[in-house]
Amino acid sequence: MKTAPRSGCPINAAVEVLGDPWAMLVLRDIMFGNRRYFREMVAGSEEGIATNILSSRLKQLTAAGLLTREDTQRGHRAMYSLTEAGIQVLPIMVALGNWGLAHRDGTRRLRVRAELLRDGGPELVGRMMDELRELHLGIPLPDPDAPRASEQLQAAYDAAMCAAATT
């Protein structure tokens, strides 16, 4: 169900897939929250995504080749996974987070992961992409003994939550 882009411009082609705010937030929640099921995405949405919007964006992201949807029997939950193209959106997310850190206000709790990814640089982003490949594509980690980027991000988030609770 891919549609032809409006022009041959690569920026336009990317914006046609990634330019919708809800699409980016769905990808964010899958990448950073490991929300892989519809109900998890609705329940865990910081921004309160409506079910019809979520359904539409999941279909669009799947049609665009950023997600796959596990085939299930009727009555069973379908699991969504990132494709390699979806995983390669992570550096774009980091760039958007860096811009947001520099030019927009936000709460400490929701900024901490973006700060860690900014400060960790390409090495941390690369390790996070490797983890996403392991989780979504079944590709073993290149260095299974290296610290897990997801654990660093979660620890930073947990520390920010504790700090917020004590202030």
Query: Domains in the chain and their CATH numbers?
Result: 10-83 (1.10.10.10), 89-166 (no CATH)
CA distance 28 to 22: 10
The C-alpha torsion from 14 through 122 and 150 to 133, rounded to 10°, is 60
CA distance 94 to 13: 20
Q: What does the pLDDT look like over 73-132, one tens digit per residue? A: 777 789 999 999 999 999 999 999 999 999 999 888 888 989 999 999 999 999 999 999
* Residues in contact with 99: Cβ distance below 8 Å, sequence separation at least 6, in sequence order: none
Asked whether the predicted pLDDT for residue 3 surpasses 70, the reply is no
Most distant CA pair in the chain, distance = 53
- pLDDT confidence of residue 2: 61
Work out the pLDDT band at 139, boundaries 50, 70, 90.
very high
CA distance 40 to 83: 19
- pLDDT confidence of residue 73: 74
